[in-house]
Structure 1
Amino acid sequence: MSLATHVRTLGRGPGRSRSLTREEAAEAMALMLSGAAEPEAVGALLMLLRMKGETAEEIAGFTEAAQGALPDLGPVDLDWPSYAAGRTRGLPWFLLSARLVAEAGHRVLLHGWNGPDGAVRDGLARAGIAVAEGPEAVPALLDRDRIAYLPLETLSPAIFRLLGLRPVFGLRSCINTTCRMLNPARAAASVQGVFHPPYRLLQSDAARLLGWRALTVIKGGGGEFERHPTKEIAQFGLRDSAAWEAPAPALMADTRRLNDGQEDPGLLTALWQGDLRDAFAEAVVTGTAALALDTLGVAGPEQAARELWAARTRSRAA
């Protein structure tokens, strides 16, 4: 079957077109990843889905096919995608949150691509997170550090090419959502950030169809999984494979924005080492880590995150 069959299903017109089934979406993704599909058909399919709006079944099918084409990465406890792109954001304090979760003994895999925004890639080394040169390097890094970052372009060049069509279209496509859902190591728990709130429920519904156990999705800073400590946020996702929603209260009173103009990635190192004292940034780090720990099933996650933050400097001093 060619991709044109699925384009026709989506684009027949009022009263005749319909959404793809999960199986059809998986077949369409496999065709696009194979490189055998005509580029015009790829563009038509992705933009028809964009105009119609993706369903959970379509995202589940896309994700299933994309996952099936990935190499084995070994055991991972927490999947942490980072795919926000095209919007200026402040410093990626959430990288320290991910490292804090790893400090608790959990194996954390970050993966992503952030387009022209280099803040995340620039911040990785400053946050003490190694970048895997390829999928084969991930297990050793996780054994050593319990955390690693895997760039999408080395994880899956085929998916990366599809994601790279965004500037060609001038619009995001369902590939952006699929990348957030990729969970390349099939971790039992995943945390995801979105910029547009409706995607929180779409991604949690797709995860339920895929049989995931634990997921937390929030509208985070710049579209990343990053908690604003002065705002109450809504959480969507799964707990024990069942649909779940819960509010997370504000952690402090302040009017500071996440993007407050700071651009020096060295501040990540300074905050971690205790050379910088910044109550707001610390609340971003520990508050985000608490949501991740809760996703992992850690009891008393807020207190656990604060204790981990305090312990990071005590262990170094010792």
Structure 2
Amino acid sequence: MSLAEYVRILGRGPGRARSLTQDEAYRAMTLMLSGEGPPEAVGAILMLMRMKGETASEIAGFSKAAQDALPAGPAADLDWPCYAAGRTRGAPWFLHAAKAIAQNETRVLLHGWNKPDARVRAGLDVLSIPFCTTLDDAASALDHGQIAYLPLEIIHPRLFALLNLRDAFGLRSCVNTVCRMLNPGRAVASVQGVFHPSYRLLQADAAQLLGWEALTVIKGGGGEFERHPGKTVEAFGLRQGRPWQGSVPPLVNETARLQDYDGPLVPVDAPFAQAMVAGTIDLARDTLAGACPSGRQRDSA
């Protein structure tokens, strides 16, 4: 099928249009990533999906196609996407949490793109987290230090080009969600942050369709996996491959805004920032504990 067929499925009009099946979404994304489809059709598909709202089947199909378009990556235990723009976040304290998890013999693979917000990548340097430009470099970093960061624009330029269409549309597309679901290290567990709460369950449902074992999705600081320690946090995801939902109580009696803590990442001397890091670590560890004993991502159904 050409991309025009998928545009037709999505855009026939009231009473006739429908969502894509997981298999159709897989084939459509494969065509979009090939660069062979007309750009007008690519834009039509992404915007029609935005108008109707994405389904878990569509996100699962798109994400599997994006993952399959990557060469085999370094094996990871914990997938940690970071794709937020950071407008409502302070310093990226979650990087401390990721590094702490890695120091416990857990292979943590971060990947992302944060557009004009340079704080995440600046934080990598501050905390000595390797910025890797190839999958082989990431594999070496994971072997030696259990943590690595992969930049989307280098490891997956075609997916990055689709993500960057936001500049042309002036609107977010489902590619933002697909990037969070990329999981280039095929990790058994993933932690994800979102800005809009409605995406928590969408990503959890898509992960189950993909056969993932453990996932935690929260409305985090600026859209990253970074918990607010002064609020109750609602979490969605998977535990041992089954739907899971949890509620995490506040850790401190302080309702500060995360952007108020925008100082240097080291030292972590403010009690609120310390609680932010500790709470994020606890959620990540709980996610890892919720994986099946097999230790690797299952094949999708």
What range is the shorter-chain TM-score in?
over 0.9
CA distance in 1, matches of 2:261, 2:265: 14
Question: Quick check: 1:73–1:139 contact (8 Å CA) kept in 2?
Answer: yes
CA distance in 2, matches of 1:226, 1:162: 26
TM-score by length of 1: 0.89
Alignment partner of 1:268 out of 257, 265, 274: 265
Question: Quick check: 2:74–2:135 contact (8 Å CA) kept in 1?
Answer: no
CA distance in 1, matches of 2:165, 2:118: 18
Cα deviation per residue 1:154-176 (whole Å; 9 max; x = unaligned)? 11001000001111101110100
CA distance in 2, matches of 1:229, 1:261: 12
TM-aligned CA deviation for residue 261 of structure 1:
5.9
CA distance in 1, matches of 2:212, 2:33: 23
TM-aligned CA deviation for residue 150 of structure 1:
0.3
Is 2:59 the partner of 1:67? no
Question: Quick check: 1:193–1:217 contact (8 Å CA) kept in 2?
Answer: yes
Describe how 1:115-194 pairs up with structure 2 within 5 A.
Answer: 115-194=115-194
Is 2:284 the partner of 1:292? yes
Question: Quick check: 1:32–1:42 contact (8 Å CA) kept in 2?
Answer: yes
TM-aligned CA deviation for residue 135 of structure 1:
1.6
Question: Quick check: 2:204–2:215 contact (8 Å CA) kept in 1?
Answer: yes
Higher CA-based Rg: 1
Which amino acid is the alignment partner of residue 69 of structure 1?
A
Question: Quick check: 1:135–1:154 contact (8 Å CA) kept in 2?
Answer: no
Cα deviation per residue 1:192-241 (whole Å; 9 max; x = unaligned)? 00000010000000000000000000000000000000000101000000
CA distance in 2, matches of 1:24, 1:3: 10
Question: Quick check: 1:27–1:65 contact (8 Å CA) kept in 2?
Answer: yes
1:42 counterpart residue number: 42
1:315 counterpart residue number: none
Question: Quick check: 1:234–1:247 contact (8 Å CA) kept in 2?
Answer: yes
Which amino acid is the alignment partner of residue 281 of structure 2?
A
Question: Quick check: 1:46–1:173 contact (8 Å CA) kept in 2?
Answer: yes
Which amino acid is the alignment partner of residue 282 of structure 1?
Q
Unaligned runs of 5+ in 2: 291-301
Question: Quick check: 2:218–2:236 contact (8 Å CA) kept in 1?
Answer: yes
1:257 counterpart residue number: 257
2:90 counterpart residue number: 90
The structure with more helix, counted as a fraction of residues? 1
CA distance in 2, matches of 1:92, 1:199: 21
Q: How many residues align?
A: 290
TM-aligned CA deviation for residue 119 of structure 1:
1.4
Is 2:6 the partner of 1:9? no
Which amino acid is the alignment partner of residue 14 of structure 1?
P
Which amino acid is the alignment partner of residue 269 of structure 1?
V
CA distance in 1, matches of 2:120, 2:41: 33
TM-score by length of 2: 0.94
CA distance in 2, matches of 1:261, 1:234: 22
CA distance in 2, matches of 1:286, 1:38: 48
TM-aligned CA deviation for residue 116 of structure 1:
1.2
Which amino acid is the alignment partner of residue 270 of structure 1?
P
Is 2:209 the partner of 1:209? yes
Which amino acid is the alignment partner of residue 37 of structure 1?
G
Question: Quick check: 2:22–2:58 contact (8 Å CA) kept in 1?
Answer: yes
Aligned-residue Cα RMSD (Å) equals: 1.1
TM-aligned CA deviation for residue 5 of structure 1:
0.5
Question: Quick check: 1:86–1:116 contact (8 Å CA) kept in 2?
Answer: no
TM-aligned CA deviation for residue 118 of structure 1:
1.2
CA distance in 2, matches of 1:173, 1:133: 26
Describe how 1:232-251 pairs up with structure 2 within 5 A.
Answer: 232-251=232-251
Which amino acid is the alignment partner of residue 42 of structure 2?
V
